[in-house]
Structure 1
Amino acid sequence: MTLLTSIPKDTRQQLVWLLDQLVSPGVVSATLAATDGLVLSHTDGISRDDAEALAAAVSGLWSLGRAQSHLVGGGLRQQLLEYDGGMLLLSAAGEQTALAVVTGPAHEVEVDVVAHRMNELAAQVGPILSAPPRRADGPGRS
């Protein structure tokens, strides 16, 4: 698993254990991403390059979902995309942070169980993983 290095070592170890708990029969990988498209963490079931591409997609999907929240009221909490070969589940995991889980085909996974476990994980790690918006005047910017 890869983690953002600014997270304290004790917290990193706890997050490794928690995120790895999502990987079960039918679950291929789990990725934590800032909603601006940066990878915060990912399991071994996905390469770093694929995790970065997924984090970029999460950013776009999350933005689209939030833009349409006025149609159903309230904030965006989860999204599910189903493909021929599997599913992508997205869940809020703290302020400006999302959890993305890739599964195998729908008939090989209990989606309700995976979604429930994602919500449990988000409740446990959300405050730790909250990624504040980056500032335009940050390091390297004028």
Structure 2
Amino acid sequence: MSNLSYLLNNNLVARVPGIAQAVAVSVDGLLLAWTDGLNRDAAERLAAIAAGMKSLLNGAARDLGAGGVQGNITELADGFLVLVTVSTGASLLVLATRHADLEFVTVELGRFVEQVGEQLTPAFAGDLASTGSGRP
């Protein structure tokens, strides 16, 4: 699935100041794509973390009657984890640097979601799993 990895690398990391890394993940934790600075093992762990975060946040939102999770920003000592819902079947987890303009980053993530969101469905994740995921 080189096209999505290409888009993550070239339409996010290279183009949006402050985005350091990103992974695309299916709702069940399948790694769909990742940026060049991550090795596959780290990307797989981050995919599982992203799916878990989304599930936990959706559970809290459901209990609070607040609808589904659209996004989440978690402050870290050296940056921010930004989780964004891409479609009903996928999410992005992005590491933004400490000095990133989070408003700009989130706007650009929204644009990226509009660009690729319809492609990232549960069927896409299933196709990817059957062909071998990730990289060229």
Q: What TM-score do you get using the length of structure 1 for normalisation?
A: 0.77
Q: Which residue in the other structure is 1:18 paired with?
A: 7
Partner of residue 125 from structure 1, selected from 106, 116, 124:
116
Q: 1:134 to 1:72 in 2, by over 3 A?
A: same
Instruction: After TM superposition, give the deviation of residue 60 of structure 1 in Å.
Output: 0.9
Any conservation in 2 of the 1:22–1:114 contact (CA below 8 Å)? Answer: no
Q: Which residue in the other structure is 2:20 paired with?
A: 28
Q: Which residue in the other structure is 2:95 paired with?
A: 102
Matches within 5 A, 1:71-90: 71=64, 73-90=66-83
Partner of residue 67 from structure 1, selected from 48, 53, 59:
59
What secondary structure does 1:114 align onto?
helix
Looking at both structures, which has the greater relative contact order when contacts are Cα pairs under 8 Å and sequence separation is at least 6?
2
Q: 1:28 to 1:134 in 2, by over 3 A?
A: closer
Instruction: After TM superposition, give the deviation of residue 18 of structure 1 in Å.
Output: 3.0
Partner of residue 102 from structure 2, selected from 90, 107, 111:
111
Paired-residue identity, %: 32
Q: Which residue in the other structure is 2:48 paired with?
A: 56
Instruction: After TM superposition, give the deviation of residue 132 of structure 1 in Å.
Output: 4.3
Gapped runs of 5+ residues in structure 1? Answer: 4-11
Q: Residues of 1 paired with 2:117 and 2:31: CA distance?
A: 15
Which structure's residues are more often helix, by fraction? Answer: 2
What secondary structure does 1:45 align onto?
coil
- Specify the structure having the higher radius of gyration (Cα): 1
Q: 1:32 to 1:133 in 2, by over 3 A?
A: closer
One-letter amino acid matched to 1:22: L
Q: Residues of 1 paired with 2:105 and 2:125: CA distance?
A: 31
Q: Residues of 1 paired with 2:7 and 2:116: CA distance?
A: 8
Instruction: After TM superposition, give the deviation of residue 25 of structure 1 in Å.
Output: 3.0
Q: 1:134 to 1:98 in 2, by over 3 A?
A: closer
For the aligned residues, what is the CA RMSD?
A: 2.2
